[in-house]
Amino acid sequence: MNGADAVYKVTNGSASMPARAGIGLRGPHMAEIAATRPAIGWLEVHTENYIESGPGLRRLEAIRRDYPVSLHGVGLSLGSAEGLDASHLAALAALAARIEPGLVSEHLSWSVTGGVYLNDLLPLPYTEESLEVVCWNVDRVQQALGRAILVENPSAYLRFRHSPISEPEFLSALAQRTGCGILCDVNNIYVTAVNFGFDPAAYVDALPPAAIGEIHLAGHFRTERRDKTLLIDDHGDRVVSPVWELYERALRRFGRVPTLIEWDKRLPELPVLLDEAARADAVAQTALGEGAHARAA
């Protein structure tokens, strides 16, 4: 199954997705977006919020008529050694058939073991065993959907003693073996880099540009544990300066791809999200020039 020749091409999935900024669509903003139709490139939703909700799905379908939509999952658990939940995968495929998303993405993490769902993006040891598990699961998703998905680097607060492959190497190998794309979360790179003391720029430089299908930007918060600074990725604030700088570096390396402003905790009024998205577009224009080639558009 994990052949060297990728069957799916990332860019196929992004055909309807503009290479500009979008925002995460959250419940409290839905009515305002439907009523005012702000000039935003696209919207991303959490897949799981629409899988078992009749009214939610109906509202999403209405918004989908006006905007390209990306389905971003948090519950598929691509890193589960026991494989994927068949009914959840079938529900994702049914939702994708209805919404016709421009992109479908998930995380390089796990949340299910022994049939229990832990509702967090838990870390994987980066080993050949884990790579085989994730490749197998990504293959299965891509077969069920008939398209390539994007896999996102998570924020991390612990590492395993035995984890011989670096995260960007792991993602590169995953993309090469399965044909999936990479969702580069620049804030997550920064959070993890501060938490473990590595250079976030070197991480960006180690990712394969051709596989990058989307970028995420978000805020985080800073906390102290036993005199050690830890960054916690809570999507609860504006994007910080070092992350904007890292975003510029990523754009110069990857070209312009759809970029998402994510906000979950302490959700502000819609204009704040639109303002962050406008800033992301402005940063991209400055970094790449006005008529920058939009790779995935």
Partner 1 sequence: MLGLPELQASFARALLGFGDDAISDAIAEDGLSRELRLDIYRNTVLVSLTDALAATFPVVCRLVDERFFRYAAAEFIRAHPPERPCLSAYGEGFAHFLAAFPACRELVYLPDMARLEWLMHRAAHAQDAAPISPAALGGLAEAEMPRLVLELDPSLGLVSSPWPIDRIWRANRCGADGAERIDLSSGGARLEVRRVADEILLGTLDPGRFAFRAELQRGSTLARAAEAALAADSGFDLTRALADLFREGAVVAIGLAPPEDLRS
Binding site for partner 1 (CB under 8 A): 48-49, 51-56, 58, 74-77, 80-82, 85, 87-88, 110-120, 122, 124-125, 127, 129-130, 133, 157-163, 195-197, 225-226, 228, 230, 232
Lookup result for tokens 């040891």: 125
Lookup result for tokens 């529900």: 91
How many CB atoms within 10 Å of residue 288? 16
Minimum distance between the CB of residue 220 and partner 1, rounded to whole angstroms? Answer: 13
Q: How far is CA 165 from CA 126, 158, 169, 250, 253, in A?
A: 5, 15, 6, 22, 22
Nearest to 123 by CA among 175, 70, 83, 170: 170
Minimum distance between the CB of residue 111 and partner 1, rounded to whole angstroms? Answer: 7
C-beta of 51 vs 272, nearer to partner 1: 51
Minimum distance between the CB of residue 35 and partner 1, rounded to whole angstroms? Answer: 15
Q: What CA–CA distance (Å, rounded) separates 165 from 262?
A: 28
| Contact call for residues 175 and 182 (beta carbons, < 8 A) | yes
According to DSSP, the β-strands at 150-152 and 116-122 are unpaired
C-beta of 55 vs 291, nearer to partner 1: 55
C-beta of 223 vs 286, nearer to partner 1: 223
Minimum distance between the CB of residue 25 and partner 1, rounded to whole angstroms? Answer: 17
C-beta of 65 vs 225, nearer to partner 1: 225
Minimum distance between the CB of residue 76 and partner 1, rounded to whole angstroms? Answer: 7
| Contact call for residues 102 and 69 (beta carbons, < 8 A) | yes
C-beta of 43 vs 124, nearer to partner 1: 124
Q: What is the greatest pairwise CA distance in the chain?
A: 52
Minimum distance between the CB of residue 51 and partner 1, rounded to whole angstroms? Answer: 5
Q: What CA–CA distance (Å, rounded) separates 257 from 260?
A: 10
Lookup result for tokens 């379908």: 61
Minimum distance between the CB of residue 288 and partner 1, rounded to whole angstroms? Answer: 36
C-beta of 76 vs 243, nearer to partner 1: 76
According to DSSP, the β-strands at 259-262 and 21-24 are parallel
C-beta of 194 vs 292, nearer to partner 1: 194
